[in-house]
């Protein structure tokens, strides 16, 4: 049996004034984007006497020519045309996680065409630094602690922090025991309350979507949480791939998205964002996905019912 969270852990972070048990009959439209890797302000040499030095080299030699601000701006403009209620940003807004980059990303979040929710990625947690110089700058769009939940129209958006400092050439993540235990109690309670649980995590909680050096170290344990207490859909970034898979051993959709700024000849790597429309359906939820290119064209559609009369969900690609 999982312990109940204190009431304030959930209700004080709601977006709407509705109580946690209220399930709205209206739809909610979400934009999911990830890994924008916004153009960095100048990095002071004192801030680069660590793993950032290698990342800075990589940015100057290659990444700055493929992660383009204009691509990301076009994508955000398309979101603005697409009538969304909330923008979910699943990490790696920065390149080196410097305080100046966190400030610049906060200004970018401020300018998005709808209210935003954010979680950090590995680039945002590249080196150990005080919280006040890093993720605390994004608290307005997240929370003081993880996992957090925001509730809107009967949809619970849960944010996990999988970013950890790692040695050079590594980009692993870890959720950790403390967050996993809180996540399990939270998802169990939100499910019992009849809310649609949309979970956002930077590193995919599944083997094979990224090389081992970029993987979520406790992906098995995190997937086991989802198997035990469920979720309606899990969104991730990090891979820079537009993928659609499942949490192992479940029918829970696991949805990846390409980087919001990347130019790449491979269609699944080219910048995109996911438009998710969620509405009540037969005691559960229907979820409709449309993947948008920055020019507004739709490259892929899928839909699910979650759960469908307490049976497995269905994918219609």
What are the residues binding Fe ion (CB under 5 A)?
A: 92, 121-122, 238
Q: With contact defined as beta carbons under 8 Å apart, do 171 and 162 qualify? A: no
Rounded to the nearest whole angstrom, what is the least distance from the CB of residue 310 to Fe ion in the complex?
35
- Of 9 and 270, CB closest to Fe ion: 270
Rounded to the nearest whole angstrom, what is the least distance from the CB of residue 90 to Fe ion in the complex?
9
- Of 20 and 262, CB closest to Fe ion: 262
**Four-point Cα dihedral 234, 238, 243, 245, nearest 10:** -40
- Of 13 and 214, CB closest to Fe ion: 214
- Of 195 and 209, CB closest to Fe ion: 209
Rounded to the nearest whole angstrom, what is the least distance from the CB of residue 35 to Fe ion in the complex?
6
Looking at residue 232, the DSSP 8-state letter turns out to be S
* Separation between Cα atoms, residue 151 and residue 196, nearest integer Å: 9
Rounded to the nearest whole angstrom, what is the least distance from the CB of residue 278 to Fe ion in the complex?
25
Looking at residue 91, the DSSP 8-state letter turns out to be S
Closest CA to 135 of 109, 114, 156, 158: 109
Q: With contact defined as beta carbons under 8 Å apart, do 224 and 248 qualify? A: no
* Separation between Cα atoms, residue 153 and residue 159, nearest integer Å: 17
- Of 71 and 122, CB closest to Fe ion: 122
Give exposure, 254-290, as e/b (b: 16+ Cβ within 10 Å).
bbbbbbbbbeeeeebbbbbbbbbbbbbeeebbbbbbb
Rounded to the nearest whole angstrom, what is the least distance from the CB of residue 138 to Fe ion in the complex?
16
- The alpha helices in the chain, defined as continuous H runs, are 7-11, 52-61, 69-81, 99-110, 176-192, 219-229
- Of 208 and 296, CB closest to Fe ion: 208
Rounded to the nearest whole angstrom, what is the least distance from the CB of residue 168 to Fe ion in the complex?
15
Contacts of 114 (CB under 8 A, 6+ apart): 31, 79, 84, 85, 86, 87
* Separation between Cα atoms, residue 102 and residue 162, nearest integer Å: 17
Looking at residue 30, the DSSP 8-state letter turns out to be E
Q: With contact defined as beta carbons under 8 Å apart, do 148 and 200 qualify? A: no
Rounded to the nearest whole angstrom, what is the least distance from the CB of residue 210 to Fe ion in the complex?
8
- Of 238 and 293, CB closest to Fe ion: 238
Rounded to the nearest whole angstrom, what is the least distance from the CB of residue 240 to Fe ion in the complex?
8
Report the residue number whose CB is nearest to Fe ion.
238
- Of 172 and 185, CB closest to Fe ion: 172
């Amino acid at each position: 049996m999982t312990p109940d969270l204190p009431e304030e852990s959930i209700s004080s972070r709601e977006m709407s004034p509705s109580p946690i048990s209220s399930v709205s009959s209206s739809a909610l439209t979400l934009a999911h984007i990830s890994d924008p890797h916004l153009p960095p302000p100048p990095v002071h040499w004192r801030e680069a006497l660590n793993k950032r030095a290698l990342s800075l080299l990589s940015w100057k030699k290659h990444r700055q020519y493929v992660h383009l601000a204009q691509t990301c701006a076009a994508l955000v403009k398309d979101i603005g045309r697409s009538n969304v209620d909330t923008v979910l940003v699943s990490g790696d807004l920065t390149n080196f996680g410097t305080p100046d980059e966190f400030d610049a990303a906060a200004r970018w979040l401020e300018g998005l065409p709808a209210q935003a929710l954010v979680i950090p990625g590995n680039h945002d947690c590249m080196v150990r630094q005080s919280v006040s110089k890093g993720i605390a700058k994004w608290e307005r769009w997240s929370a003081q602690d993880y996992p957090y939940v925001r509730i809107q129209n009967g949809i619970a958006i849960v944010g996990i922090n999988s970013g950890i400092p790692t040695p050079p050439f590594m980009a692993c993540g870890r959720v950790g025991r403390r967050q996993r235990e809180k996540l399990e109690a939270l998802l169990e309670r939100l499910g019992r309350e009849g809310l649609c649980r949309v979970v956002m995590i930077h590193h995919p909680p599944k083997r094979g979507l990224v090389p081992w050096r970029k993987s979520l170290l406790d992906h098995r344990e995190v997937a086991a949480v989802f198997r035990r207490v469920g979720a309606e859909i899990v969104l991730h970034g990090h891979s820079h791939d537009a993928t659609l898979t499942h949490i192992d051993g479940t029918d829970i959709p696991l949805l990846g998205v390409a980087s919001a700024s990347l130019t790449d000849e491979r269609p699944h790597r080219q910048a995109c964002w996911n438009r998710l429309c969620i509405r009540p359906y037969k005691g559960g939820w229907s979820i409709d996905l449309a993947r948008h290119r920055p020019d507004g064209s739709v490259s892929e559609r899928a839909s699910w019912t979650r759960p469908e009369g307490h049976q497995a969900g269905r994918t219609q690609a």
